[in-house]
Amino acid sequence: MQEKKRMNHVSSDGETEIYYVSPVGYLRREDGRTIIDVLPAFTPALKELENFSHVQVFWWFDQFDDDGHRQTTRFEDMPFDAPVLGVFASRAPMRPNPIGLTTARIVRVNQEAGEVEVADMDAFDGTPILDLKGYLPHCDRVRNVRVPDWASHWPEWLPENGLGLED
Amino acid sequence: MQEKKRMNHVSSDGETEIYYVSPVGYLRREDGRTIIDVLPAFTPALKELENFSHVQVFWWFDQFDDDGHRQTTRFEDMPFDAPVLGVFASRAPMRPNPIGLTTARIVRVNQEAGEVEVADMDAFDGTPILDLKGYLPHCDRVRNVRVPDWASHWPEWLPENGLGLED
């Protein structure tokens, strides 16, 4: 491994590198709509996003940002029929770095207002948003895909209206 | 927006929330192979990942982690024929939170050694890795997708061997 060019920060143990992230906006759930309110400093970054059908929303699992959840590496009892799962084989919010990713259909982009309305997202009102990336098939759409047996009965495509919050 | 349940950290301006991320591993490019070396604390999290064909690799654009790059919101001159692009409409490494995402075909997983070999990634040797998630079609595969005109001639699917580093 090449020598690190740059080290953002080193933790108190002198070994762990630490990087920081900050919200670029927050999720708002209102009247059945799901809106990302982008902070004023970042609204210029929305230019051209309206020409994508879908966006990848990177967000922060803020309710799981504590040492206990972040040290979780395996799940013994998933809420579906699955073997013991490593965190990296799951989408669970308990992860070393609690970064969530949702691919969502764009309903509208209002750059002036700093609003991106999406079809739905499996995230709570007030969730911090870290990044948005327009969905590009050559980066993210896999033609020949294989999943574990326990996931083989799930849909083969993102549902048109996304994955909402579970009841 | 609901009152924030929890605030990880507040910056010196008293307003910006800050969250911390740390590497769970590093990328190693060696003899034409692309390997993610997972740190020992996180190798249990690899369980079951081998049953996925593809993995989403979340990584840190460590060479762009500085105020200048992080304050970039638009690109005037893309290296391809495109209008002025907002950062959120692009995959560029200059972003407010320099989180990279690569969907990659899994070549092999060696949980004991903490190694995940992938087909290729558009990241340099030594790149910090933040998270891995098994690729699930119902979360990330979009059937009816639309992209801007400037991206309309790009492939409709992820190439089998991924997107490598550009020469």
- A52 in any annotated domain: yes
Residue range A51-79: mean pLDDT, rounded: 93
Give pLDDT, residue B4: 37
- A93 in any annotated domain: no
Per-residue pLDDT tens digits for B130-166: 999 999 999 999 999 999 999 988 988 898 877 766 5
Give pLDDT, residue B63: 93
Whether the predicted interface score ipTM is above 0.85? yes
Compute the distance between CA of residue B116 and CA of residue B34 in angstroms, rounded to an integer.
9
Count the neighbouring beta carbons within 10 Å of the beta carbon of residue A13: 6
Examine the pLDDT at B7 and tell me if it is beyond 50. Answer: no
Size of interface A-B (CB pairs under 8 A): 316
Residue range B43-53: mean pLDDT, rounded: 97
Of the pLDDT bands very low, low, confident and very high (cuts 50, 70, 90), residue A12 is low
| Mean pLDDT, rounded, of chain B | 89
- B83 in any annotated domain: no
Give pLDDT, residue B6: 38
- B15 in any annotated domain: no
Per-residue pLDDT tens digits for B73-88: 999 887 777 789 999 9
Examine the pLDDT at B120 and tell me if it is beyond 90. Answer: no
Instruction: Say whether residue A78 is in contact with chain B using an 8 A CB cutoff.
Output: no
Q: What percent of chain A has pLDDT over 70?
A: 89
Examine the pLDDT at A7 and tell me if it is beyond 90. Answer: no
Residue range A124-146: mean pLDDT, rounded: 95
CATH number at residue B116: 2.40.30.70
Nearest CA among A107, A122, A114, A53 for reference residue B139: A122
- B32 in any annotated domain: yes
- A10 in any annotated domain: no
Q: Under an 8 A CB cutoff, do A74 and B23 touch?
A: no
Residue from B48, B88, B102, B138 to probe the interface with A (highest A Cβ count within 10 Å): B88
- A91 in any annotated domain: no
Instruction: Say whether residue B165 is in contact with chain A using an 8 A CB cutoff.
Output: no
Compute the distance between CA of residue B23 and CA of residue B38 in angstroms, rounded to an integer.
9
Q: Under an 8 A CB cutoff, do B134 and A89 touch?
A: yes
Compute the distance between CA of residue A85 and CA of residue A78 in angstroms, rounded to an integer.
8
Compute the distance between CA of residue B119 and CA of residue B32 in angstroms, rounded to an integer.
10
Q: Which among A49, A96, A157 is the nearest to B138, CB-wise?
A: A157
Count the neighbouring beta carbons within 10 Å of the beta carbon of residue B84: 13
- A90 in any annotated domain: no
Nearest CA among A165, A159, A167, A166 for reference residue A54: A159
Could you tell me the residue range of the domain that residue A110 belongs to? Answer: 25-61+98-136
Compute the distance between CA of residue A157 and CA of residue B2 in angstroms, rounded to an integer.
32
Instruction: Say whether residue A100 is in contact with chain B using an 8 A CB cutoff.
Output: no
Q: In the beta sheet, which residues pair with residue B55?
A: B104, B134
- Count structural domains, chain A: 1
Give pLDDT, residue B82: 79
CB B89 within 8 A of CB A47: yes
Examine the pLDDT at A128 and tell me if it is beyond 50. Answer: yes
